[in-house]
Amino acid sequence: MDRRLYARAGIRHVAMTAGGTSICNFRRYHRRMLFACALAGQMAVALIGGVVLSITGTTSWNHPAFWLITGTIFIVGSLFSTMLIIIAGRPLDDILIALIHKRGERTTMPLPNPNAEQHAKTGFKTVLELIYDEPTQPAPPPSPDALLTQALNHTSYGIVVLDPAKRIISANKAAPIATDADGQPYLALDFLNEQSLTAWLDDADARQVSAERTWRRVATANGAFKKTRFFDIIASYQKDAPGETVIVLIDRSTQYLPEEEDLNFISFAAHELRGPITIIRGYLDVLAEELAGRLKGDEPQLLARLTVSANRLSGYINNILNVAKFDRHHLSIHLAEDSLSDIYGSIADDMQLRASTQHRLLNISIPSDLPTVAADRSSISEVISNLIDNAIKYSFEGGTVSISAEQKGDFIEVSVADNGVGMPPSVVKNLFHKFYRSHRSRETVSGTGIGLYICKAFIESHGGHITARSKENEGSVFSFTVPVYAAVKDKLLEDGQLNRNLIRQGGGWIKNHAMYRG
């Protein structure tokens, strides 16, 4: 039935034909039940009041005051309940009256007016209009921009759009947006020693029409939010577009935060161990000098093994501390002109001692006439030391570990090869992951699983690459590259001999590539 009982402009009564009395009967029944329940409730209250008066000795049931008090309670309570029923039940009563008219039942009751002011305030107007088949004006459909905003707010990825003036013109709820002292929104991220988003945009604006860059493991700015969050970030730039820069922020907090907590604990423990280990190494050096020429039999070899073990433990601790710096992008190093033969010469005695105590031979082939390289001597010597140490551990007794170097374009490639147990491809692809150790190596060889990870960190910090090739039962070859000094001299002089201009090639920390590159 589709009959308009009220026009939009005002009230217009429409006569109806009779259609039964069931709703009228229900209305009368419902009203009688409400009033009967109210009277019964008040009667119970009055009786309870009388019992309380009798028990407390205020008055007895046969005293006129008893009936006066209980009667007053009953009458006043009944009147009050009736008023409440009339007020609270009025909306339901209006609904029933409207349904009576809607169904065409005979009645003299006036039709409730949906346009009454109080109905508009309380929202009851909508209820009556639904009964009268007079719906309210539907809300206009949201604009495409509003629909896009709603959709983006449903994703866990942060989305931020910047205009050509580098101002935020749109951001969804997941984006780490904070407000500065002037009330302006900004992207609250800490890029630490990496090139910041602003610096990258300035560089792209000056040099390119379009560009894209990624950042990994970027934390929210300290103090900007209650909890620190970590993001992987992709930024796309299109010069002079209305939304010139689109930034996608992938929240990796669940992945990175546990690692941060673990690394904080390990770094603290390593830092505390560094002092005692240094003292032990000092005492071993003193013993070696004091007892030189007086040791007999196996005693010199035992002392040498103690020295090697102490040096190795010191290397583990340094590796852990360097991992912490690398993960926080604090591994900023000064590169100087140096030669690979001199760098190896600084650790040659220690390497020879390690090899001889494990019954291995070292074959060194580093030409002295190679071009000089841009290197931090401490870092590169640690890389070579880690690779030789691994080759010694995973080669067979009496085997040979070969160290060679050759020029390849603007880089010098250093390789450390062994003819040991080798590795399957499934192990090789994970070698440069932090704390990774294969099931077999955990059972047979001691270690922490971060030596190759820190090698990767040091080499990438020089703008080079590290690779691994291996076959089971044939051996492994680890190679890394460092830049020729002449090829990067100008970049280094621009940046005060720091490595930042080298590691920004290609948009960030050097990515993995062929063979397996860490």
Bridge partners, 361 (sequence order)? 400
pLDDT for 247 equals: 94
User: pLDDT-based confidence at 94, cuts 50/70/90?
Assistant: confident
Q: Looking at 141-145, 391-395, 504-508, which range is the least confident one?
A: 504-508
pLDDT for 504 equals: 44
Which residue did the predictor score with more confidence, 302 or 209?
209
Same domain, 223 and 366: no
Average pLDDT over residues 344-370: 90
pLDDT for 508 equals: 32
Which residue did the predictor score with more confidence, 39 or 262?
39
Is 91 domain-assigned? yes
Is 137 domain-assigned? no
The total of other beta-carbon atoms located within 10 Å of residue 439's CB is: 8
Same domain, 382 and 393: yes
Is 471 domain-assigned? yes
User: pLDDT-based confidence at 408, cuts 50/70/90?
Assistant: very high
Is 304 domain-assigned? yes
pLDDT for 327 equals: 59
- Which tokens in the block code for residue 265? 């604990």
* Residue 487 CA: distances (Å) to CA of 328, 332, 362, 463, 510: 28, 20, 31, 12, 18
Please tell me the distance from the alpha carbon of residue 365 to that of residue 359, in angstroms, as a whole number. 20
**5-19, 41-55, 319-333, 359-373: which is most confident:** 359-373
Same domain, 228 and 303: no
Is the predicted pLDDT of residue 294 greater than 60, yes or no?
yes
pLDDT for 280 equals: 87
User: pLDDT-based confidence at 499, cuts 50/70/90?
Assistant: low
Is the predicted pLDDT of residue 286 greater than 50, yes or no?
yes
User: pLDDT-based confidence at 274, cuts 50/70/90?
Assistant: confident
Same domain, 193 and 315: no
pLDDT for 4 equals: 39
Domain end (from 277, 312, 330): 330
Give the whole-number percent of the chain exceeding pLDDT 90: 23
pLDDT for 505 equals: 40
Please tell me the distance from the alpha carbon of residue 211 to that of residue 191, in angstroms, as a whole number. 19
Same domain, 85 and 117: yes
Domain end (from 226, 251, 276): 251
pLDDT for 11 equals: 35
Please tell me the distance from the alpha carbon of residue 474 to that of residue 417, in angstroms, as a whole number. 11
Is 286 domain-assigned? yes
Three-state SS at 426: helix
Query: Could you tell me the pTM of the whole model?
Result: 0.48
pLDDT for 116 equals: 76
Please tell me the distance from the alpha carbon of residue 46 to that of residue 48, in angstroms, as a whole number. 5
Q: What share of the chain is helix, strand, coil (3-state, %, to 5)?
A: 45, 20, 35
Strands 400-408 and 361-365: parallel
Please tell me the distance from the alpha carbon of residue 487 to that of residue 414, in angstroms, as a whole number. 17
**10-19, 57-66, 95-104, 334-343: which is most confident:** 334-343
Determine contact, residues 231/156, Cβ cutoff 8 Å. no
Is the predicted pLDDT of residue 437 greater than 80, yes or no?
no
Which residue did the predictor score with more confidence, 455 or 256?
455
Task: Provide the CATH number for the domain around residue 454.
Answer: 3.30.565.10
Same domain, 471 and 361: yes
pLDDT for 480 equals: 96
- Which tokens in the block code for residue 246? 């689109």
Q: Looking at 132-146, 167-181, 375-389, 451-465, which range is the least confident one?
A: 132-146
Is 139 domain-assigned? no
DSSP labels, 295-345: --TTHHHHHHHHHHHHHHHHHHHHHHHHHHHHHTT----B-EEE-HHHHHH
**77-81, 327-331, 446-450: which is most confident:** 77-81
pLDDT for 192 equals: 65
Determine contact, residues 251/231, Cβ cutoff 8 Å. yes
Domain end (from 330, 353, 380): 330
pLDDT for 263 equals: 67
Determine contact, residues 427/442, Cβ cutoff 8 Å. no
Is the predicted pLDDT of residue 2 greater than 60, yes or no?
no
Same domain, 394 and 504: yes
Task: Write out the residue range of the structural domain in which residue 367 sits.
Answer: 331-518
pLDDT for 79 equals: 79
Task: Provide the CATH number for the domain around residue 215.
Answer: 3.30.450.20
Please tell me the distance from the alpha carbon of residue 339 to that of residue 370, in angstroms, as a whole number. 8
Which residue did the predictor score with more confidence, 109 or 230?
230
Is the predicted pLDDT of residue 442 greater than 60, yes or no?
no
Is the predicted pLDDT of residue 205 greater than 80, yes or no?
yes
Is 138 domain-assigned? no
Same domain, 227 and 267: no
Is 1 domain-assigned? no
pLDDT for 15 equals: 37
Please tell me the total count of domains within the chain: 4
**118-174 pLDDT per residue, tens:** 777 777 777 777 776 655 456 677 777 778 778 888 888 999 999 999 999 989 999
Same domain, 471 and 518: yes
pLDDT for 502 equals: 59
Same domain, 305 and 241: no
User: pLDDT-based confidence at 18, cuts 50/70/90?
Assistant: very low
The set of residues, in sequence order, having a beta carbon less than 8 Å from that of 167 and lying 6+ positions away, is none
pLDDT for 406 equals: 95
Same domain, 361 and 461: yes
Same domain, 69 and 86: yes
Listed in order, strand segments (DSSP E) in 39-132 are none
